[in-house]
Amino acid sequence: MLAYDMLDILEKLALDPNDFVYVRNEKILLSKEPPNRFISGIRPKEISGIIYGALDPESLIVRYKNRVLKKGKDYLFDPIWGRLGIAPKAEIPSNEFVTIDYRYSLRRIDSIIQKSSGKKEIRKGKSHISVSEPPGLKDGEKRLANLFLDYFCDCRNPDVFPIQETVELAKTMTTLGRIPRTLSKIRSSEPVRIICWGDSVTEGGEASDIKKTAYVPLFEKLLKDKFPKADIRVDKIAIGGSNSRQWLYPEKYRSHRPEKQHLLCWERIVEAGPDLVTVEFVNDADKGDLIFDEVYADILNRVKAMKAELILIAPHFTYFPEEKDKYLDILRSEEKRRYVYNLIDFAQKNNLAIADVSSRWAHLWKEGIPYPTLLQNNLNHPEDRGHRIFAEELIKCFS
């Protein structure tokens, strides 16, 4: 469908505006720590996860015993991340509840549908705080485009995503057959132990069922479906918020979560005795080029020392607010992260397997899907559809 045809349809078929949720007299304890991105501060309860952009900053009213508190004097507020903390010189007790009023926007995906009769209509999707999905189709119908109404969107100017390609046309750099010893064991019905090592995504972050819909159990199910006679066990060793350096050199690189520090230990991987290790660290994406000369070369040597094989995972897209202007076009662009380029290059130079999840996410806009709607927390944690992409790319390595 041509662009001017799409505009003509939009002019004739009006969209409903965004839905809003209004919250009154919600009780919270103001954080003693000042707001710091998603790390500290307290968020309104109804804005789950690390959702940013949904809260209307102008709507926020904070009260203590019916007295309206002043921002800066009584409380601190980060409008980007929607987090609150008590001000250093506040005259209110830090151990008593305050109440807050606020409103937040939901997002939605509507679709331009061509019915079996040839008539076109706009079908409204279901609003959601983050992971909105396009409305369903009936027999004989075709989806021509999706219309993304992000938070506080002007319904006269939605973000239009024409359906250009199907998921089957997505091209990735996922490798086939670069894990020969593991495949040989599987085909000869020898026991195979696979460890999925990583951060919060590997941990299962925000999948609807961590035992079924997160990518690790999905990957194990796909393996057992593909090789029904094989003796395969897949386990995860992962800590949310961690990066690879913290596991390899815990004395030098400390976790921002002290309660988890004792778990960041490479020996846990060694003790598991894996035949294969998969590596997923989206948290490595901002660590610079030297991470490959130092850290990933060390990972490869350590895995070889265990006589195990390796699959590197090129991770999904994230959506940080500080980068919104810089990556304003990323919803319709190819991969831009140097980390992913370097990861793929490292795999090629060392003849390592790679599961290219990144390219699948980069293809979503051609399927009519704005990729942030696959992030449950609107930041870095995929929901079930995103986890399935991980599993689907990993299973390709076993061909």
pTM of the model: 0.92
Residue-level pLDDT at 324: 53
Question: 334, 353, 333: which is closest to 343 by C-alpha?
Answer: 353
Tell me the C-alpha distance between 249 and 252, whole Å: 6
Residue (of 18, 377, 48) closest to 205 by Cα position: 377
Secondary structure string (H, E, C) spanning 115-126:
CCCCCEEEECCC
80 exposed, middle or buried (CB, 10 Å; 0-12, 13-18, 19+)? middle
pLDDT, residue 49, reads 72
- Rounded Cα distance between 381 and 375, Å, is 5
Answer whether 380's CB lies under 8 Å from 319's CB.
yes
Beta strands in the chain (DSSP E): 20-28, 61-64, 67-68, 75-78, 83-86, 98-105, 108-114, 120-123, 142-149, 159-162, 191-198, 231-238, 276-280, 309-314, 353-356
What the block records as the tokens of 275 is 């035949």
pLDDT value for 321: 62
Sorted by where each begins, the domain ranges of the chain are 3-17+107-163, 20-105, 168-396
The residue written with tokens 């304003």 in the block is: 328
Mean pLDDT by 10 residues, the chain (399 residues): 55 80 96 89 85 90 96 94 93 94 96 94 94 96 95 88 95 96 97 98 94 98 97 97 95 88 95 98 86 90 98 92 55 86 95 98 96 92 97 97
Q: What local confidence, expressed as pLDDT, does residue 94 receive?
A: 87
The two three-digit tokens of residue 75, written as one number: 């409380």
Residue 314 pairs in a beta bridge with 356
| Per-residue DSSP letter, 321 | G
Q: Which CATH class is domain 168-396?
A: alpha beta
pLDDT at 5: 59
φ/ψ (deg, to 5) at 2: -75, 155
Q: What is the pLDDT of residues 349-361, one digit of tens each?
A: 999 999 999 999 9
pLDDT at position 268 is 97
Residue 2: what pLDDT? Answer: 47
Euclidean distance between CA atoms 387 and 280, whole angstroms: 12
Q: Determine the Cα–Cα distance for residues 239 and 63; give it in Å rounded to an integer.
A: 37
Residue 86, beta-bridge partner list? 75
Q: What is the pLDDT of residues 170-224, one digit of tens each?
A: 999 999 999 999 999 999 999 999 999 999 999 998 899 999 999 999 999 999 9
> Burial, 38: exposed, middle or buried (Cβ in 10 Å; 0-12, 13-18, 19+)?
buried
The SS3 of residue 69 is coil
